[in-house]
Amino acid sequence: MFPWFWLWAPQLQLPFSGDVTQDIEPRLDVFFRGIKPGAGDARIEALAFDVASYGDQLGVITQLLLDWAERLPAEVQVASRPLEELRAIHAAIQAIKDVERLRRRA
């Protein structure tokens, strides 16, 4: 049976304490922080990222630029400061990758 206390238990509705509705749609894009909100269409960016990460895309572009630069005359290659910077960056990234691969093997 029900206790008699329910007669003395009033329901008070304080301000902002009424019924609440909540959208429970799963939003998995909050876990992906690689795309900034103003960077374009986030859905397209996420699908493109599934094909190739930003590092993979930049690696292919860097390798292509270095291959094209090798075809330039030697005078242009020596005088090109951005080309030397790109080679130095590429070499530094390759060194990081080699060290990490060795660390994972060990």
pLDDT at residue 28 is higher than 90: no
- In-domain check, residue 51: yes
Range of the domain at 57: 28-105
Instruction: Spell out the residues 6+ positions from residue 60 whose beta carbon is closer than 8 angstroms to its own.
Output: 52
pLDDT at 58: 92
- In-domain check, residue 10: no
Radius of gyration over every alpha carbon of the chain, rounded to an integer in angstroms: 29
Tokens representing residue 4 in the block: 């008699």
Banded model confidence at residue 26, pLDDT cuts 50, 70, 90? low
Q: What are 35-58's pLDDT values in tens digits? A: 666 667 777 877 888 898 888 999
- In-domain check, residue 7: no
- In-domain check, residue 1: no
- Lowest-pLDDT choice from 23-27, 29-33, 86-90, 98-102: 29-33
pLDDT at residue 31 is higher than 60: no
Give the chain's domain count: 1
